[in-house]
Structure 1
Amino acid sequence: MNPIIQIVASIFGTLGAYGLFLLARFLIREAISPLNNLPGPPNPSWIQGNSKEVQDPELDVAQEKWVDKYGTTIVYKWFVWNRLYTEDTKAINHILMSGYDYQKPEPARKWALRNIIGSGILVQEEDEHRLQRKVMNPAFGVAQIRELTEIFMDESIHLRDIWVSQVGPDNKPVRIEVQSWLSRMTLDVIGRAGFNYRFDALDSTEPNELNKAFSIIFGFASRFTIWNVLQSVVPALRLFPSTVDSVKKEAYATMERIGRDLLRQSKAQLAATGEKGDGWRARDLLTLLVRSNMSKDIPENQRMTDEDVIAQVPTFLVAGHETTSTAVTWALFALTKDTKAIQDNLRQELLQVQTDSPTMDTLNSLPYLDAVVRETLRLHSPVSSTMRVAMKDDVLPLSTPYTDRKGNVHYEVPVRKGESITVPVLAMNRSKRLWGEDVKEFRPERWLTPGGVPSAASSIPGVWGNMMTFLGGAHACIGYRFSLVEMKALLFVLIRAFEFDLAVDADDIVGKLAMVRRPHVRSEPEKGSQLPLLMKLYVPS
């Protein structure tokens, strides 16, 4: 036999044998996993497991139905992997508050997320995460968000004026697709407030180069395929380029170039104005981050590199753009779904304010507006769940025991290093066990009356509002104040100006997950994410 052929055959034989060894080790590990004793749904497919059910929008959140049948702590199959799922607040508190003992899955961090946002704070763990969080915290404080409220109001009024121009002189209801408009508005906000950059998305018919680059990367990353899953867990498969790699590479180059320009401008602004530079309009989040990073309070060896700072630009876009626009879209859906009484009550409160551009403190002083925002983020959290992987062997304590497949009762769950756990955000926000029988109703009044929020909900270990929307612990959302005030600004302006009704039947609206959970019209799947509403100017009677 030709020596070259022998060498090639030997290499492939060795690789094949090693692959079989890894497969056998994996199958044995899964077969003896303690999680197999937990209750859960039957496995419908050896390859896909329960993954199709989890992703089926008609089931909304499939795990909610499993919990009703099998209990609050269960196991299901994500493709061929066991995945622990629990709505037990004691277990979730242990996971979120155990520092970095439970981390985002490494394939998701180092492959999927990094493909979108680079090495920003959303993908970091342990020392690097602590460092970035320490440097970034000052930029997201109450005083900083108070000053940014002017930008929130400006862009909300800008959107209002565009919508006003679309209403005819007879003030008959016009159909408008609010999801895309809100996405453009929040993009303009995060551009100005995040890094002093003008997208002009509300006025432009074509996206500028940064918007286009981000849309390309975000669009490819949001497409769920089995090949993407395999690439995330088998690094060798990443060596095989796809037809879109060159397009993505060009988009990344554009984002990096603009990021460096923005960083250079921020440093120049600080050099020109000094540590206490006057003129807030230069004090966007990126400039605040640069100022904090240069602070004498932070040792030289604990400062972020320029690459780390630049990586926060796409992080701001992901975390501060789609989530807020989606949350406000769901708020408008909730305010039009069943009865307009809630919309009318909110409008009457907002009309009592004597200015079109209130401050953050004024917005936060409006109780019904606050209740509507809370109820929206409880019932329609944009992020439906997140994942954690145990970094060591551990035991999860439970407040509610489970009965295993052999009939034995357990008050804790043994977890091995490397096993995956779903942290349910949306399901815990609307758990009957925690919130009561009316949990699926949009009822802002629950936040205004004594005892309206059940005591059981107070055990939810979220950083805000007795809910999981912004998570908790080391990875709690750093920008939750930013998002809340922006939501309030948008609702303040839009509800004062317009009356809204659904343009389609409420049952035709379904939530679909693609990075965040967005509304879709079931009868118009080709149009993608959308929420069509009928809009007319509000005219006092």
Structure 2
Amino acid sequence: MGINNLASYQTMDLGKEWSYTILACFACAAFLILRTRERLKSVPMPNGASVLWGHEQIVFNMSAGMAYAQWLKELNTSVLKIRGALGKLDLLVLADPFAVTYILQRRIYDYPHSEVVRPRIGRLLGKSLGWVEGEKEHKRMRQLVAASLSPEAIRSSAYNVHAAADTLQERLEAHLADKSGDNIINTIDWTNQATLDVIGRFAFTHDFGGGINQEAIDILGAWRNMAKVGISRKGFLVLMVLRRFPFLNHLPLEALMAQGNVRSTIREGIAQELIRRSQRLPGESTDDNSLLSRLVSAHNAQLISMDELMDHITMFIFAGSETSSQTLGYALWELAKDPKRQSQLREECLAYSGHLSYDDSQTKLPYLDAVIREVVRLHPALAYMERVSVKEDVLPIRHPLQAPDGQELKNIKISAGQTIVIPIHAINRMDSIWGDGSAFRPERWLEDLPARDILFSGWSNVLSFSDGPRNCVGTRLALFQMKVLLMTLVRRFEFQDTGSVIINKIASSMQPTVQGKEELGPYLPVAVVTL
């Protein structure tokens, strides 16, 4: 056989090999789709899926979380499935207390972040506590930071929260005095600056200048750019493509680069300065028990790498401020729409003398506590969470499903690789639990709660801080700072409704936008009057 003939045969063999490989991939994909659909055949599915985008375009087009709430109500179920975009396997949506508790409390390490969520966390926050998977590694990282966020740590550093609150009050007073006749503010801008100021002082012994110095401007600017891209149609398309083809996660796409810019802004700027400033001579003692001090000590003891140290700083600067900021902004917006309840809250806050202590925040201001609980319930930072099963499993459910043969099913068999959606926003607002789940009514927390057997677990029986071993490590600090900041503001200012229609979108976390002005990005306007 001649060389040319040999090359021709080799080319033919290579072509056949590629053809067989492609056919095998399609066959495998078809098998997985058919098996998933067979296992979920008893799970109801809403109408309206498009051939290309499944149900996911509906989720994007509606205000965040509302599509899941609507489907759960229409189908009268606590479990449903939706078609994924671009031929993605069906997504299983769980709003059943047994199934959610099973995953979050008992099997969370068998349900890591999905293949689209984890890379996003990595780009935004680095390989830190929120990104890490596996029980051993997660517990190691959580143990490093938990002590710095304990009740004792908050008690001893409460003055830092009050300093940030006082600065916020002074800045807002000055703004209103200088802007005669222009008293409409974007609450998100102001609360972002305040919570960044809090986390800087509390966790890193660092002054962000009330959230308006150049470091803060750079960080918040990178965040705002990321959020604007994330809530856009372009952001949705990128998300759907990455869900279907996760190997594309490293492409230089604008939406992905915007997420990475937040991390790089912090790592290349303030993180390096914080580490340099905190370095001490070997054997030098310190009374500093801040989060930064503990992280640097762990690095010096070779318990964490320099990359991990930088990423932990990134995570706590960003996640430690942004989520609390959104919730606080929604609190001001809800109170602006409800003058009577705002006045009631103001009366209670004015009756308390001086700065609010951590212990008093738990017991001495019941209506403030109720308002915060209600806002956290109605406006979770995450509208939903995504997890994926690493192996086959059987999920228990409280509310049985009806099989095609009429049999009552009390569990759901799922395959490895099944994407799970836990619709936090919809769960927190379920009328079947709260009666008037979408209403802002803080008094519900001063009344008898619904029957325990229908409630979810988690802080205050809602999932806003998740649940189980991977719940929010900063819950106590988040609640305390929101109470202090809100108390400071309602004592001094009156907040009034502007009539704007708010549509919530998702850009990693929940982002409020004004209907018809989505190009402005995150925007939650209220009018403010100095008292």
Tell me the TM-score range normalised by the shorter chain. Answer: 0.7 to 0.9
Deviation at 1:454, TM superposition (A): 0.7
Q: Which amino acid aligns with 1:531?
A: L
Deviation at 1:212, TM superposition (A): 5.2
Tell me the distance in 1 between the aligned counterparts of 2:507 and 2:239.
Answer: 14
Tell me the distance in 2 between the aligned counterparts of 1:225 and 1:391.
Answer: 26
**Is 2:160 aligned against 1:151?**
yes
**Paired position in structure 1 for 2:89:** 81
**Paired position in structure 1 for 2:397:** 398
Q: Which amino acid aligns with 1:132?
A: M
- 1:151-208 C-alpha deviation (Å, 9 max, x unpaired): 2211121111111123349997822221111112212222232323333364447855
**Paired position in structure 2 for 1:304:** 304
**Paired position in structure 2 for 1:47:** 52
**Paired position in structure 1 for 2:440:** 442
Deviation at 1:518, TM superposition (A): 2.3
Deviation at 1:242, TM superposition (A): 4.2
**Is 2:459 aligned against 1:459?**
no
Q: Which stretch has the larger CA shift, 226-235 or 140-149?
A: 226-235
Tell me the distance in 2 between the aligned counterparts of 1:206 and 1:136.
Answer: 24
Say if 1:250 and 1:459 are closer, same or farther in 2 by CA, change over 3 A. closer
Deviation at 1:309, TM superposition (A): 2.2
**Paired position in structure 1 for 2:373:** 374
Q: Which amino acid aligns with 1:117?
A: L
Matches within 5 A, 1:32-431: 32-33=35-36, 34-42=39-47, 44-58=49-63, 60-70=65-75, 71-79=77-85, 80-108=88-116, 110-126=118-134, 127-168=136-177, 174-200=183-209, 202-204=211-213, 207-209=216-218, 224-231=235-242, 234=245, 236-238=247-249, 240-242=251-253, 255-258=266-269, 259-268=271-280, 272=284, 274=285, 277-278=286-287, 282-291=288-297, 303-337=303-337, 339-355=338-354, 357-364=355-362, 365-405=364-404, 407-431=406-430
Deviation at 1:292, TM superposition (A): 6.3
Deviation at 1:87, TM superposition (A): 1.4
Say if 1:270 and 1:256 are closer, same or farther in 2 by CA, change over 3 A. farther
Say if 1:247 and 1:499 are closer, same or farther in 2 by CA, change over 3 A. closer
Say if 1:90 and 1:239 are closer, same or farther in 2 by CA, change over 3 A. closer
Q: Which amino acid aligns with 1:509?
A: I
Tell me the distance in 1 between the aligned counterparts of 2:71 and 2:40.
Answer: 16
Deviation at 1:218, TM superposition (A): 6.6
Q: Helix, strand or coil: the match of 1:518?
A: strand
Tell me the distance in 2 between the aligned counterparts of 1:116 and 1:210.
Answer: 12
Q: Helix, strand or coil: the match of 1:107?
A: coil
Deviation at 1:246, TM superposition (A): 8.1
- 1:115-168 C-alpha deviation (Å, 9 max, x unpaired): 111110101111211111122211111111223321221112111111112334
In structure 2, the gaps of 5 or more residues are: none
Q: Helix, strand or coil: the match of 1:32?
A: helix
Say if 1:48 and 1:233 are closer, same or farther in 2 by CA, change over 3 A. closer
Normalization by structure 1: what TM-score? 0.86
Tell me the distance in 1 between the aligned counterparts of 2:191 and 2:148.
Answer: 24
The one of 490, 513, 523 aligned to 2:506: 513
Tell me the distance in 2 between the aligned counterparts of 1:485 and 1:328.
Answer: 11
Deviation at 1:384, TM superposition (A): 1.1
**Is 2:494 aligned against 1:499?**
yes
Say if 1:133 and 1:244 are closer, same or farther in 2 by CA, change over 3 A. closer
Q: Helix, strand or coil: the match of 2:54?
A: coil
Deviation at 1:417, TM superposition (A): 1.5
Tell me the distance in 1 between the aligned counterparts of 2:443 and 2:511.
Answer: 25
Q: Helix, strand or coil: the match of 2:209?
A: coil
Deviation at 1:253, TM superposition (A): 5.3
In structure 1, the gaps of 5 or more residues are: none
- 1:5-52 C-alpha deviation (Å, 9 max, x unpaired): 998997677556534422331222111220133111136223311001
Tell me the distance in 1 between the aligned counterparts of 2:6 and 2:217.
Answer: 56
Say if 1:66 and 1:231 are closer, same or farther in 2 by CA, change over 3 A. closer
**Paired position in structure 2 for 1:18:** 21
**Is 2:515 aligned against 1:522?**
yes
Q: Which stretch has the larger CA shift, 41-50 or 230-239?
A: 230-239
Contact kept, 8 Å, 1:111 with 1:232, in 2: the verdict is no
Q: Helix, strand or coil: the match of 2:116?
A: helix
Say if 1:213 and 1:334 are closer, same or farther in 2 by CA, change over 3 A. closer
Q: Helix, strand or coil: the match of 1:97?
A: helix
Percent of residue pairs bearing the same amino acid type: 25
**Paired position in structure 2 for 1:535:** 528
Tell me the distance in 2 between the aligned counterparts of 1:200 and 1:170.
Answer: 21
Tell me the distance in 2 between the aligned counterparts of 1:169 and 1:227.
Answer: 42
Contact kept, 8 Å, 2:167 with 2:210, in 1: the verdict is no
Contact kept, 8 Å, 2:228 with 2:522, in 1: the verdict is no
- 1:279-332 C-alpha deviation (Å, 9 max, x unpaired): xxx54322133446778xxxx7xx333322221112113321211110011111
Contact kept, 8 Å, 1:511 with 1:519, in 2: the verdict is yes
Contact kept, 8 Å, 2:390 with 2:416, in 1: the verdict is yes
Q: Which amino acid aligns with 1:102?
A: D
Q: Which amino acid aligns with 1:402?
A: L
Q: Helix, strand or coil: the match of 1:401?
A: strand
Deviation at 1:530, TM superposition (A): 1.0
Tell me the distance in 1 between the aligned counterparts of 2:122 and 2:228.
Answer: 14
Normalization by structure 2: what TM-score? 0.88
Contact kept, 8 Å, 2:498 with 2:526, in 1: the verdict is yes
Q: Which stretch has the larger CA shift, 78-87 or 357-366?
A: 357-366
Contact kept, 8 Å, 1:76 with 1:82, in 2: the verdict is yes
Q: Which amino acid aligns with 2:333?
A: F
Tell me the distance in 1 between the aligned counterparts of 2:178 and 2:139.
Answer: 56
Q: Which amino acid aligns with 1:105?
A: H
Q: Helix, strand or coil: the match of 1:311?
A: helix
Q: Which stretch has the larger CA shift, 52-61 or 494-503?
A: 52-61
Tell me the distance in 2 between the aligned counterparts of 1:229 and 1:74.
Answer: 20
Count residues with an aligned counterpart. Answer: 518
Say if 1:351 and 1:271 are closer, same or farther in 2 by CA, change over 3 A. farther
Deviation at 1:528, TM superposition (A): 1.9
Q: Which amino acid aligns with 2:358?
A: M
Deviation at 1:2, TM superposition (A): 11
Q: Helix, strand or coil: the match of 2:41?
A: helix
Report the aligned-residue RMSD: 3.2
